[in-house]
């Protein structure tokens, strides 16, 4: 009994030890965004005043705003702005490939992606949205308590089927139709799961963002000489005698991959961007916030 | 030893290993360099790609060549190659090495020891016993023959002596019957040489080593025609012309020895003497301690200076009233004439001016009418060691006004009390005949001088009789009245001649005795060596001695030298072993230099009989080459390592590691990015967020503190405000684009670089474009633009080229006091200096009921202060403060206020006059508690 409690506590402390840095960093990042309220510009459920409209026959007497109506002869109804909460599912690729950082001590792609996801989640929670993870066990919920849950879930490495894989895939099943998804990955692996997820999203009217997080080394391919490349999980190997010779071809393929992702996103009504793990996170967060606030489906190019 | 021309090998068999090199070539060819292992997530995009040129998986030929060459060098080195191999030396039996080791050997002493070392090496190989002896320091007992390595160990410690070998050689008797001799000669003919040569030749062959460079000796310096002349002699014979430089060395006012003057010393062809002439100011000349031939070692190349070069400085107080008297009637004319040849005269009408010239002697004539303060200054000077020499005169004789004749005249500046009135004898109105001198008593300074009959004294001042008069009187007239009196005062003395300095009271100034009396009083010096008579009974203390190389060493512990021996040594043609050694000797107040050379020195070349083998130079020594070959092999291996790294694409990493290793040696340069590509990267980084920047101050340590300070401020901003600065940067206004940086911190030192015209153009563009520069003179206070500190003056020089508006001290309602925190003052590591900002528009007025004036325009382009803010902001890598501020908690409070100032400043830079808007006034009023 005692032993179980001790083990539980030590486990909880281990998890809690991970929690503050991510939550604190994300809170700080989110504070820098300072979003304004984003009304729906329609009458509906909400606390903000939207308009007075003349009362109709169908309006209950209790809905009439007597303070306004007393100024004239007509009866007015006070309408508030529609502030429907949206459901947003965040997903950060948990694969081994995301643990890459080209220079020692630099931020890994996974850390950057989690930070951005968490900060975006915090902003959304503050705006009253429901935020969850694209995992079966993390449906979207609203409220400040969800922030801690999100931080815990994002900090902890997924154990199970996805562990040790190069890339994992998102699960959008828990997201209600009409919701949004924000997918963080490097999208350097097989594109089929992404395609599958996007086509499923399209059928269920789920909008969203594809966010490709890349390390600077992946953008410029600064390698030379005889090199044996290994994937992060160690499954794939590739050896070359002159790495510098491959640079042009690699960059071409990378550009093609980005184009493919962009067209994939456009066909599903999503938006796509590439962020880098060495640039300041605030600018990336601003883009994400704008993209979410303006509606993921806005076709304005990236 | 097998030889191939000029190169021989110790173990030639090893050379067969060279045959294995082709095998190595074939082996190495098959092994390509190892690949680098890299993790890379983008591997999926790489799959299936091919290199443009599928290079063969073999080592490139140049790597192979390097490795084979390295191995070849190794094999060659191990086989023991030697350049200029020498054959086995001939001869066996004991070897005697005789070295002259005289002052003349010092000039090329290394060549001599090299020759001895060669002989010792040969003897060691042949296993011959060796004896080594120096003729200037012969062994007291029998000559000892030992193994060669015994002498090899001691060879480096052998030095020449500053003297010549003596004529007698008692050790000859202890030599064995058969012995081969190597004589390291200094090339000069001397008494007793042929006898020694004969004695040695009877015992075996004699070989002489004698470098053919002539010996040079400097003669003692002497005065000639206003300058100092130093003569030099060299070995007579068919010698080529030589152009040497003579330097005069002495202590400078700071007490370090340095070259005071140079003169050329040119020997004509076949000439054996030359002269160098120095024309020097007296002050400089008195400082000279020795003359030396530049670039030549040896006691002969040094001439020590002594008192004969030194001239005393004598101050004459001119009579105050401009007198129309003829020169011969001038009261000091005779003194001047007596002193001019041997002393430096300073004349003036003011005691202060004369004392400033730091004279050794001051001469006053009659009663000069000194003020009290002048008399006191003079007394102090005498107490500190001055010699005050006074002459009597009518005014002195009369005494102060109103004094009856015969009353005592007291004056601290007189050695004795005088009787007013004096006396006149032998004149037209008196009965007595002029007085003559009494013979000088023993024990007075004038003892031994003749008292000539022609000196007559017609008038004199009289001393009041008293108990100390006899003791103070050092010369008397025949009737016993004092002529010269002296009293000692402190370290100095006061001397009074009871007659005038002119010829009107006595004929003493006209006689030669007068000059010698002045000499005896040490008013002047003779400029020549003491005569034999004076040396006869004296004893001289050794002060310093010359060693063989011409270095002067203190020798206080050496025994004193009798005057006769010193006198003999002063005129001996060469310093001998049993005579006083060259150096400095002191006797009483006089100092005498004994040099190696003097007027009698004649350097004659040694004559060797034909049957003696005379070597002039050392033959080319054996030179082992193994070390160089090992070095070549190591270089080849290093090049191979670099080449392999380059092939594997790891060269950049290796270069980084190497750069890290050298980083501590170049702290200033490492922080600065210089290549255009790096600059561009830095600027790109600067565009991505707010970056605080600092300008190089000219001192790496200050730049480091500025960097740490801005880092600390950046972190404070990140934690406290919504400003999230990137790490700070060092920007150079000369090279970098400034527009990207909202704020520059510029520490100004007294030696900070001043920007060029281009830099000023950039800075002015920056200031006009809304940038802000914080100038920090770091000098605690007085940054009040008055230029009172060196850094402040430098700041003025720097700011002269900048477009800076009128400034004022920060007014209490300046927006800087409330952009983020409410602040009253702006401390840094120091707290007290005034901070200057752009002056507010004069028409600004305080609104009704508002604590602040209406100032809504403009951000000050510069903030100038001296509080050393960066030092208060600075934190180290661990986030701890780098430098202490103040004391205890007060200091921590001051640091906090410094950080608040920094936050306010950056807020002011970034948000301008936002907080100056009146809309904030109510909130501010509330916070101010009004």
> For residue B295, which of B268, B262, B273 has the smallest C-alpha distance?
B262
- Residue B551's nearest CA partner among B798, B378, B735, B292 is B292
Q: Is the CB of residue A157 less than 8 Å away from at least one CB of chain B?
A: no
Task: Give the DSSP H/E element, type plus range, for residue B905.
Answer: helix B888-911
Cα dihedral sign for B467, B469, B471, B472? positive
Tell me which residue in A223, A244, A253 faces B38 most closely, judged by beta carbons: A223
CATH of the domain at B765: 3.40.50.12140
Examine the domain organization and report whether B373 and B459 are in the same domain: yes
A280 close to B686: Cβ distance less than 8 angstroms: no
Residues B831 and B739 in one domain: yes
Kindly report, residue by residue over B390-424, the tens digit of the pLDDT. 888 887 877 776 667 777 777 888 888 888 777 76
CB pairs under 8 A between A and B: 111
CA distance linking residue A47 with residue B847, whole number of Å: 41
**What is the DSSP secondary structure assignment for residue B355, as one 8-state letter?**
H
Whole-angstrom Cα distance, residue B793 to residue B815? 28
Same domain, B265 and B304: yes
Return residues 27-46 of A near B (CB < 8 Å): 31-32, 34
Q: Do A245 and B43 touch (CB under 8 A)?
A: no
- Whole-number Å distance between alpha carbons of B596 and B297: 13
Q: Is the pLDDT of residue A246 over 80?
A: yes
Are A231 and B44 an interchain contact pair (Cβ–Cβ within 8 Å)?
yes
Q: Is the pLDDT of residue A86 over 60?
A: yes
Do residue B47 and residue A238 have CB atoms under 8 angstroms apart? Answer: yes
Q: Who's near A61: CB < 8 A, 6+ residues apart? A: none
Judgement on whether residues B112 and B241 belong to the same structural domain of the protein: no
A32-62 pLDDT, tens digit per residue, is 665 554 555 556 666 677 788 888 888 888 8
B222 shares its domain with B239 = yes
pLDDT at A248 over 70: yes
Q: At what angle do helices B109-126 and B148-155 cross, to 10 degrees?
A: 160
Residue to test with chain A: of B32, B35, B42, B53, most A Cβ within 10 A? B42
Q: Is residue B186 part of a domain?
A: yes
Assigned domain for B416 exists: yes
Domain span including residue B206: 95-213+605-621
Are A165 and A93 within 8 A, CB to CB?
no
Nearest-angstrom CA–CA distance, B784 and B742: 26
With respect to residue B576, please indicate whether it lies within any of the assigned structural domains.
Answer: no
Helix axes of B21-29 and B61-78: crossing angle, nearest 10 degrees:
150
Phi, psi of A47 (to 5 degrees): -105, -20
Partners of residue A236 in chain B, C-beta under 8 Å? 43-44, 47
Alpha-carbon distances of B50 from A237, B33, B389, rounded to whole Å: 14, 19, 107
Any domain includes B693: yes
- Contact between A245 and B649 using a beta-carbon 8 Å cutoff: no
Mutate to test the interface with A, among B31, B34, B41 (most CBs of A within 10 A): B41
B223 shares a domain with B200: no
Report phi then psi at B171, rounded to 5. -70, -15
Question: B183 and B116 share a domain?
Answer: yes
Q: Residue A1's pLDDT is what?
A: 47
Which residue is closest to A32 within chain B, CA to CA? B722
E strand or H helix at A49, and its extent? strand A49-54
Is A57 strand, coil or helix?
A: coil
B36·A228 Cβ contact <8 A: yes
Contacts of A239 in chain B (CB under 8 A): 35
**Residue pointed to by tokens 């090899």:** B152
In chain B, which residues have pLDDT < 70?
1-6, 29-33, 52-59, 85-91, 225-226, 238, 319-329, 368, 401-403, 424-431, 522-536, 588-589, 617-622, 648-650, 662-677, 780-788, 842-858, 918, 930
Same domain, yes or no, for B233 and B363?
A: no
What is the predicted pLDDT for the residue at B697? 86
C-alpha–C-alpha distance, residues B129 and B149, integer Å: 10
Task: Name every chain A residue with its beta carbon within 8 A of the beta carbon of B722.
Answer: 31-32, 34
Q: In this predicted structure, what is the pLDDT of residue A272?
A: 92
**CB count, 10 Å around CB of A180?**
25
**Per-residue pLDDT at A4 exceeds 90:** no
On chain B, the residues whose CB falls within 8 A of the CB of A235 are none
The number of folded domains in chain B is: 5
Residues B432 and B453 in one domain: yes
Q: According to the model, what pLDDT value does residue B709 have?
A: 93
Angle between helices B888-911 and B700-720 (to 10 degrees): 80
Domains of chain A: 13-37+85-293 (3.40.50), 53-80 (no CATH)
pLDDT of A211 over the 90 cut: yes
Enter the DSSP assignment of A141: B
Residues B810 and B918 reside in one and the same domain = yes
Q: Are B45 and B615 in contact (CB under 8 A)?
A: no
B chain contacts of residue A246, beta-carbon cutoff 8 Å: 46, 49, 51
Q: Residue A256 above 90 pLDDT? A: yes
Q: Does A186 touch chain B (CB under 8 A)?
A: yes
Looking at the domain assignment, is residue B133 inside a domain?
Answer: yes
Using CB atoms within 10 A of its CB, is residue A38 exposed (0-12), middle (13-18) or buried (19+)?
A: middle
Q: Which residues of A touch B33 (CB under 8 A)?
A: 226
Taking CB atoms and an 8 Å limit, are A223 and B54 in contact across chains?
Answer: no
Provide φ and ψ at B428, rounded to 5°: -70, -30
Whether B41 sits inside 8 A of A232 (CB atoms) is: yes
CB-CB: which of B40, B45, B49 is closest to A254?
B45
Instruction: Report the C-alpha dihedral over residues B836, B842, B843, B846, rounded to 10 degrees.
Output: 40
Q: Which two tokens stand for residue B208?
A: 């002489």
What confidence score (pLDDT) does residue A141 get? 85
On whether residue B532 sits in a domain, the answer given is no
- Alpha-carbon distance A257 to A219, whole Å? 12
CA-wise closest residue to B525 among B370, B360, B638 = B360
What's the CATH code of the domain at B354?
Answer: 3.40.50
Q: What is the pLDDT of residue B42?
A: 82
Residue B506 domain-assigned?
yes
Across the strands, what pairs with B205? Answer: none
Gap between the Cα atoms of B149 and B144, Å rounded: 14
Under 8 Å between Cβ of B799 and B747: no
Mean pLDDT of A223-240: 82
Check whether residue B235 and residue B103 sit in a common domain.
no
Q: What is the DSSP string of B605-674?
A: B----TTSEEE-SPPPPPEE-HHHHHHHHHHHHHHHHHHHHHHHT-HHHHHHHHHHHHGGG-HHHHTS--
Is residue B39 domain-resident?
A: no
Minimal Cβ distance to B41: which of A218, A280, A283: A218
Write down the pLDDT at residue A298.
40
Cβ distance A225 to B647 less than 8 Å, yes or no, reads: yes
**Inter-chain contact B44–A282, Cβ cutoff 8 Å?**
no
Instruction: Say whether both B347 and B239 belong to one domain.
Output: no
Residue of A25, A95, A226, A253 to mutate, interface with B, max B Cβ within 10 Å: A226
* Out of B44, B45, B51, closest to residue A245 by CB: B51
Q: Does A220 touch chain B (CB under 8 A)?
A: no
The CA distance from B239 to A291, in Å, is 99
Residue B198's CATH number: 3.40.50.410
Q: What is the CA radius of gyration of chain A?
A: 23
* pLDDT number for residue B386: 84
**Rounded to 5 degrees, what are φ and ψ at B511?**
-95, 160
Extract the tokens encoding A216: 């600077």
Distance from the Cα of A245 to chain B's closest Cα (Å) equals 5
Residue of A nearest to B33 (CA): A226
Beta strands (DSSP E) in B173-283 are 180-184, 206-209, 216-218, 222-224, 227-234, 242-251, 257-267, 273-278
pLDDT tens profile A177-206:
878 899 999 898 888 888 988 888 888 888
pLDDT for B439: 87
């Amino acid at each position: 009994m005692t032993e179980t409690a001790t083990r539980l506590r030590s486990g909880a402390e281990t998890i809690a030890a991970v929690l503050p840095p991510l939550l604190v960093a994300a809170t700080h990042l989110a504070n820098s965004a300072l979003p304004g309220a984003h009304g729906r510009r329609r009458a509906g459920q909400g606390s903000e005043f939207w308009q007075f409209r003349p009362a109709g026959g169908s309006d209950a007497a209790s809905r009439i705003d007597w303070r306004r109506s007393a100024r004239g002869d007509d009866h007015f109804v006070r309408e508030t702005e529609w502030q429907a909460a949206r459901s947003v599912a965040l997903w950060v690729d948990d694969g081994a490939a995301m643990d890459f950082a080209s220079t020692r001590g630099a931020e890994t792609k996974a850390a950057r992606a989690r930070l951005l996801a968490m900060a975006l989640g915090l902003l959304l929670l503050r705006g009253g949205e429901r935020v969850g993870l694209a995992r079966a066990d993390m449906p979207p919920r609203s409220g400040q308590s969800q922030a801690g849950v999100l931080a815990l879930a994002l900090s902890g490495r997924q154990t199970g089927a996805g562990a040790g894989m190069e890339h994992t895939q998102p699960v959008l099943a828990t997201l209600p139709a009409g919701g949004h998804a924000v997918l963080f990955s490097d999208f350097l692996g097989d594109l089929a799961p992404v395609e599958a997820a996007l086509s499923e999203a399209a059928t269920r009217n789920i909008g969203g963002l594809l966010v490709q997080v890349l390390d600077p080394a992946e953008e410029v391919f600064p390698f030379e000489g005889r090199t044996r490349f290994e994937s992060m999980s160690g499954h794939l190997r590739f050896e070359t005698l002159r790495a510098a010779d491959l640079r042009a071809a690699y960059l071409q393929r990378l550009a093609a991959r980005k184009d493919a992702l962009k067209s994939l996103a456009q066909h599903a009504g999503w938006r796509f961007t590439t962020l880098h793990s060495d640039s300041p996170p605030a600018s990336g967060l601003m883009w994400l916030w704008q993209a979410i606030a303006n509606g993921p489906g806005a076709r304005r190019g990236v | 030893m097998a030889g191939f021309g000029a190169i021989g090998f110790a173990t030639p068999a090893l050379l067969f290993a060279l045959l294995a090199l082709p095998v190595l070539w074939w082996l190495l060819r098959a092994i390509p360099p190892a690949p680098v292992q890299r993790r890379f997530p983008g591997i999926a995009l790489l799959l299936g790609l091919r290199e443009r040129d599928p290079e063969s998986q073999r080592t490139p030929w140049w790597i192979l060549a390097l490795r084979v060459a390295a191995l070849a060098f190794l094999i060659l080195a191990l086989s023991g190659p030697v350049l200029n191999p020498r054959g086995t030396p001939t001869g066996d039996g004991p070897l005697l090495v005789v070295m002259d080791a005289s002052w003349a050997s010092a000039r090329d002493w290394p060549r001599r020891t090299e020759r001895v070392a060669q002989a010792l090496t040969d003897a060691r190989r042949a296993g011959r016993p060796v004896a080594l002896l120096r003729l200037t320091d012969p062994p007291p007992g029998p000559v000892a023959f030992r193994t060669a390595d015994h002498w090899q160990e001691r060879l480096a410690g052998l030095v020449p002596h500053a003297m010549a070998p003596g004529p007698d050689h008692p050790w000859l008797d202890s030599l064995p019957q058969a012995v081969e001799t190597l004589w390291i000669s200094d090339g000069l003919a001397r008494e007793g040489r042929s006898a020694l040569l004969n004695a040695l030749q009877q015992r075996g062959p004699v070989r002489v080593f004698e470098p053919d460079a002539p010996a040079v000796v400097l003669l003692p310096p002497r005065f000639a025609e206003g300058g100092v002349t130093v003569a030099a002699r060299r070995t007579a014979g068919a010698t080529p012309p030589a152009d040497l430089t003579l330097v005069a060395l002495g202590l400078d006012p700071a007490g370090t020895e340095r070259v005071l003057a140079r003169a050329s010393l040119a020997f004509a062809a076949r000439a054996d003497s030359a002269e160098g002439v120095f024309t020097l100011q007296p002050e400089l000349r008195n400082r000279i301690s020795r003359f030396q031939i530049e670039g030549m070692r040896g006691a002969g190349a040094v001439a020590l200076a002594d008192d004969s070069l030194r001239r005393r400085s004598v101050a004459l107080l001119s009579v105050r009233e401009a007198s129309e008297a003829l020169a011969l009637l001038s009261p000091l004319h005779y003194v001047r004439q007596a002193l001019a040849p041997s002393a430096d005269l300073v004349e003036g009408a003011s005691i202060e001016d004369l004392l400033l010239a730091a004279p050794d002697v001051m001469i006053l004539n009659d009663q000069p009418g000194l003020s009290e303060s002048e008399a006191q200054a003079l007394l102090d000077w005498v107490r500190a060691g001055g010699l005050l020499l006074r002459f009597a005169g009518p005014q002195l004789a009369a005494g102060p006004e109103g004094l009856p004749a015969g009353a005592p005249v007291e004056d601290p500046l007189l050695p004795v009390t005088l009787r007013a009135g004096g006396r006149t004898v032998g004149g037209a109105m008196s009965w007595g005949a002029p007085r003559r001198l009494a013979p000088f008593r023993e024990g007075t300074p004038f003892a031994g001088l003749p008292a000539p009959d022609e000196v007559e004294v017609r008038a004199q001042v009289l001393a009041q009789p008293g108990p100390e008069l006899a003791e103070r009187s050092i010369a008397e007239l025949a009737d016993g009245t004092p002529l010269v009196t002296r009293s000692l005062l402190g370290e100095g003395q006061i001397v009074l001649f009871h007659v005038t300095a002119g010829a009107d009271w006595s004929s003493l100034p006209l006689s030669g005795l007068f000059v010698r009396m002045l000499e005896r009083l040490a008013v002047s010096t003779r400029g020549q060596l003491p005569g034999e008579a004076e040396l006869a009974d004296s004893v001289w203390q050794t002060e310093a001695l010359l060693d063989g190389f011409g270095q002067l060493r203190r020798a206080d512990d050496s025994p004193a030298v009798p005057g006769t021996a010193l006198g003999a040594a002063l005129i001996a043609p060469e310093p001998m072993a049993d005579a006083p050694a060259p150096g400095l000797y002191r006797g009483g107040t006089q100092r005498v230099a004994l040099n190696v050379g003097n007027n009698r020195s004649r350097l004659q070349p040694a004559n060797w009989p034909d049957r003696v083998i005379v070597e002039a130079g050392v033959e080319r020594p054996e030179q082992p080459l193994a070390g160089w070959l090992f070095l070549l092999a190591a270089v080849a291996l290093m090049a191979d390592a670099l080449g392999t790294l380059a092939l594997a694409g790891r060269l950049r990493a290796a270069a980084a590691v190497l750069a890290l290793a050298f980083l501590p040696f170049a702290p200033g340069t490492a922080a600065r990015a210089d290549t255009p590509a790096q600059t561009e990267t830095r600027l790109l980084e600067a565009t991505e967020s707010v970056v605080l920047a600092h300008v190089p101050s000219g001192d790496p340590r200050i730049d480091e503190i500025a960097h740490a300070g801005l880092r600390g401020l950046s972190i404070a901003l990140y934690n406290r405000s919504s400003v999230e600065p990137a790490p700070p940067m060092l920007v150079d206004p000369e090279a970098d684009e400034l527009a990207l940086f909202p704020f520059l911190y510029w520490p100004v030192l007294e030696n900070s670089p001043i920007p060029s015209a281009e830099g000023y153009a950039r800075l002015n563009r920056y200031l006009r474009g809304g940038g802000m520069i914080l100038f920090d003179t770091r000098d605690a206070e007085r940054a009040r633009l008055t230029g009172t500190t060196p850094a402040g003056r430098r700041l003025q020089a720097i700011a002269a080229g900048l477009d800076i508006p009128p400034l004022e001290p920060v007014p209490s309602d300046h927006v800087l006091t409330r952009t983020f925190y409410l602040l009253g003052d702006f401390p840094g590591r120091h707290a007290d200096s005034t901070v200057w900002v752009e002056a507010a528009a004069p028409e600004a007025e305080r609104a009704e009921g508002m604590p602040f004036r209406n100032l809504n325009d403009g951000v000050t382009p510069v903030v100038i202060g001296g509080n050393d803010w960066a030092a208060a902001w600075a934190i180290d890598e661990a986030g701890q403060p780098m430098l202490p501020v103040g004391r205890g908690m007060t200091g921590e409070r001051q640091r906090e206020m410094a950080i608040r100032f920094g936050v306010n400043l950056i807020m002011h830079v970034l948000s301008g006059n936002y907080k100056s808007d009146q809309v904030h006034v109510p909130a501010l009023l509330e916070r101010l508690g009004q």
